[in-house]
Structure 1
Amino acid sequence: MSRFYAELSLRDQVALVTGASGGIGEAIAWRLAEAGCKLILVARRQEKLDALREDIQKTFSQVVVHTVALDVQDSSALDRLQAELPAELQAVDILVNNAGLALGTFPVQDNDLADVQTMISTNCAAVVHLTKLFSKGMIDRNRGHIVNLSSVAAHTHYGGGSIYCATKAFLDAFTTAARHDLVATDVRVTAISPGAVKTDFSNVRFKGDSQKADAVYQGMTPLLAADVADNVLYALTRPAHVQIAEIITYATAQSGAQNIARKQ
């Protein structure tokens, strides 16, 4: 905390994070716990969520951690989500739409349509659904913050990434339009757009082919999940009159989505 600038306290705010069981989502959960938020952690893997909840509460014993195992592609489960939350957690102050993925690097003529649907459902439709659900309460209370985890791929498009890039371009447009829709309220909307981050992202993209996944980061020092979580906390903790529209972050050896200086 700086004595020259008053950051916004997040203590006792209710924060919902999707894709929270690993990677960037897990790193965000830890930073929000440290800030004193009440946490709702959403992911598909209950065992991972249980382990994370236990670890967080060992470190921050006073922090409330509620876990929800669901797939954000399941629209009926999303419809039930808010009503099934404990009463003290139903008024969500911070929504972090973090769940997202890339599948494959096919050229347009070879796109796998099942993978296309998974990416659109997860990266686009789920964000729209969750924002609709929780923005209404934010508007009624005239406070809140929606953070969407985007990518530099929203701005720099590349061959072999037609669907992933398109989903992130969608997210960029949706985030901007949401900010326009909410401009007369005190609800803030932010996009976080990192470059190369070393998580399970590439392993998922290449469907477990670790050799291809490792090659993405070969010869360079990538961003870490903690770096992206720090971007999120920066945006959330600006004073209420400050709205961070977007943070674009590259690794130092990176100047674009695929512009990377690699050491031999």
Structure 2
Amino acid sequence: MKTALITGATSGIGKATAELLANQGYRIIVCGRRKDVLEQVKKELSKLTETFSLNFDVRNLAEVENAISSLPENWKNIDVLINNAGNAHGLEPLSEGKTDDWDAMIDGNVKGLLYVSKMIIPGMKERKSGHIVNISSVAARQTYANGVVYCASKRAVDVISEGMRLELTEFGIKVTNIQPGAVETDFSKIRFKGDEERAKTVYAGYEPLKAEDIADAIAYCVNAPSHVTISDLTIYPSAQSEPRTIHRKV
């Protein structure tokens, strides 16, 4: 039975992926910052498969190192790492942006991914097997005004994924970079500081992707035959033609 470690597993894409892989027979390590929610997710998943939880913030290197190092011996061999934790904060031009927002995005989307990966990769290299899935965004493909730092952080994920592939393929480790378009999760609510009405406008007038759609794509990639690597996968809702353009009915 393979073991998958998923960051940002308490909601959205991370939780949907944990549920799907659990149903497919994976053992699951769910990771998240909100301890109460994390334990509830663990309880739900435990009805489907063996489940372990790690409570840490990917932005904090010491927490990452302590949490992953604390895994019991029978949970240390990670077959699949899904770097899903990330965030967007604010939608202002650079001249009006808040540096705390910039730090949160760069620390979570870039440095957090690196911190977790650095802890898991040595074991995969030693075993000469593994699969790393990084969740980027279509924002990496086309920068948009008022989202410069977020776009930059996701472009970094693309570059890191490419670099991982160059460094790890010889060790039998697959690397997949997934770029979702508009997905209806808590993403926009977080970006707009809890303003639910403003967040709803992001998904108005068309059918956005669901977290389960991205989970399906992740499962397809990690379950591909051993000789197949899905290196990059871009997923749009049918109403979205490119990162900045969504065709709405109203």
TM-score by length of 1: 0.93
Superposed displacement of residue 183, structure 1: 2.2
Superposed displacement of residue 36, structure 1: 1.0
* Deviating 4+ runs (over 2 angstroms): none
2:27 equivalent to 1:38:
yes
Q: Distance in 1 between matches of 2:58 and 2:79?
A: 19
What pairs up with 1:157-168 in 2 under 5 angstroms? 157-168=143-154
- Output the amino acid matched with 2:26: C
SS in 1 for 2:237: coil
Q: Distance in 2 between matches of 1:56 and 1:118?
A: 29
Matching residue of 2:200: 214
Superposed displacement of residue 230, structure 1: 0.5
Superposed displacement of residue 82, structure 1: 2.5
8 Å contact kept, 2:185–2:210: yes
Matching residue of 1:25: 14
Q: Distance in 1 between matches of 2:75 and 2:217?
A: 24
Matching residue of 1:91: 77
34, 42, 46: which one aligns with 1:53: 42
RMSD, aligned CA: 0.8
8 Å contact kept, 1:15–1:96: yes
Superposed displacement of residue 141, structure 1: 0.3
Matching residue of 1:139: 125
Consecutive unaligned residues in structure 2, runs of 5 or more? none
**Percent identity among equivalent residues?**
38
SS in 1 for 2:69: coil
8 Å contact kept, 2:54–2:68: no
SS in 1 for 2:6: strand
8 Å contact kept, 1:38–1:89: no
Q: How many residues get paired?
A: 250
Q: Distance in 2 between matches of 1:36 and 1:45?
A: 25
196, 199, 204: which one aligns with 2:185: 199
Consecutive unaligned residues in structure 1, runs of 5 or more? 1-11
Comparing 165-174 and 75-84, the one that deviates more: 75-84
8 Å contact kept, 1:78–1:129: yes
Superposed displacement of residue 64, structure 1: 1.0
Matching residue of 1:114: 100
